[in-house]
Structure 1
Amino acid sequence: MSSNANEVQKERLGSEDPNQSSIEQISKFEKFVDSLNNATHRVSMLVLFLMMFLTTGDVIGRYFFYKPITGTYELTGLAMVIVIFLSLGRTQLKKEHISIDFVTSKLPTKIRESINVLTSCIMLALLGTTSWQLFAYAQRFGAQTSGDLGIPMKYFAILAAIGVLFYALTILLSIIQSISKVVKKNES
């Protein structure tokens, strides 16, 4: 009988808990941000792996055959753009960025999370501006290419902008999580 009453209540209200749909939306957003950052991190790991082989091949060629691989220094520098920028979001999700919290760790949870919301909002604004300017920078590059190999530079600026954009999404997720901790009622 009680399960029948729950079903009737579900039909009237749309769900058992009015906060259920917002929790599901946050969970979907969290999964979306996580999947984007996992994908870019995998690309970053692949590029790092290829960079290792390139550097090893260059060293072997240089010291044993007196024939280095042309453009290794250039490719390594451009690959570092991919490795760093495409890993920023994943690093934020894992909470592995450097943070100094010896003062804030002593504060109550609500105050600590409120400070986190404030600083994360500032960070979100900075990252949004940085991503926007990187996309604009890529447009200004035009047909500019790298020195030795002639690789178009705008693609690396676009990849950097995408990496910063995904990092901004993780900051937005952090803001949402901190706000939910601030407004959460004390559970004893």
Structure 2
Amino acid sequence: MKTEINKVEVHHNSLGAPAPGELSAIEKLTNGIEKIAHFFNHVSHKVSSVLLFLLMCVTTVDVIGRNIFNNPITGSYELTGLMLAMMIFFSLGMAQLKRDHIEIDFLTKKLPLKVQAGLNAITSLILSILMALTTWQLIEFTKRMFTGNYLSGELGFPIYIVTALATVGVLFFTLTILLDMLQSILKVVQKNES
């Protein structure tokens, strides 16, 4: 009896499939990316929360200074725009993790779950390619801003800092989309356990 079990285990492993209870390579990859994506997106979300608080403080002080003391903060409009850009890019990944992005699924939600997961895998693949290209172009844009020493108009703030931070935010978002794709692929290839 024991010999038969060993033969079955050897035969099972020789086909390249994981033994019962073991994770496949794609599951291990998905788990690793999930840990990384969650960590970096939580950190970037906290940074965007701090930026939102600073944005509120700058706006409040500017309005009070402008209306009561007739002395607004110099460059407040520019500063709020730069902080808003960084805040949005840092929030994209967390919004994707929480599934807060708008989905138009009135047709696809009527399809079987595996078909939905397959469609989600395809759209996530397309989106991850587009976001990877966006990340690459933001890196190139940041290089141009750095070598050209471009500064903001009123404050003289280096633009490459903002574009570099935006690149990091888009990179985290791309990682999250890649995670969605892998999770959808796992849903498609999993056997029904019923």
Aligned amino acid, residue 30 of structure 2: I
SS at match of 2:72: coil
Deviations 1:52-108 (A, max 9, x none): 001000000001000001010000000011110010000000000011000000000
User: Percent identity at matched positions?
Assistant: 47
Pairwise CA distance, 1:25: 4.1
> In the superposition, relative to structure 1, how do residues 21 and 183 fare at CA in structure 2: closer, same or farther (>3 Å)?
closer
Work out the number of aligned pairs and report it: 179
Provide the rounded CA distance (Å) in 1 between the counterparts of 2:23 and 2:128.
Answer: 27
Which of 89, 95, 109 in structure 2 is aligned with 1:91?
95
Aligned amino acid, residue 140 of structure 1: R
Pairwise CA distance, 1:32: 1.1
1:20 maps onto 2:18 in alignment: no
Provide the rounded CA distance (Å) in 2 between the counterparts of 1:93 and 1:24.
Answer: 19
Q: How does 1:7-156 map to 2 (within 5 A)?
A: 17=20, 19-20=22-23, 22=25, 23-141=27-145, 142-156=148-162
Deviations 1:25-73 (A, max 9, x none): 4323211110000001110100110110010000000010000010100
Provide the rounded CA distance (Å) in 2 between the counterparts of 1:69 and 1:42.
Answer: 26
RMSD: 2.0
Which of 163, 168, 171 in structure 1 is aligned with 2:177?
171
> In the superposition, relative to structure 1, how do residues 120 and 25 fare at CA in structure 2: closer, same or farther (>3 Å)?
closer
Unaligned 5+ segments in structure 2 are: none
Pairwise CA distance, 1:16: 6.0
Provide the rounded CA distance (Å) in 2 between the counterparts of 1:81 and 1:131.
Answer: 15
Structure 1 range deviating more: 21-30 or 47-56: 21-30
1:160 maps onto 2:163 in alignment: no
Pairwise CA distance, 1:18: 6.6
Provide the rounded CA distance (Å) in 1 between the counterparts of 2:138 and 2:127.
Answer: 16
Provide the rounded CA distance (Å) in 2 between the counterparts of 1:28 and 1:120.
Answer: 18
Provide the rounded CA distance (Å) in 2 between the counterparts of 1:44 and 1:21.
Answer: 36
Provide the rounded CA distance (Å) in 2 between the counterparts of 1:87 and 1:117.
Answer: 22
Provide the rounded CA distance (Å) in 2 between the counterparts of 1:34 and 1:77.
Answer: 27
TM-score (structure 1 length as normaliser): 0.89
Pairwise CA distance, 1:187: 1.5
Aligned amino acid, residue 85 of structure 1: F
SS at match of 1:86: helix
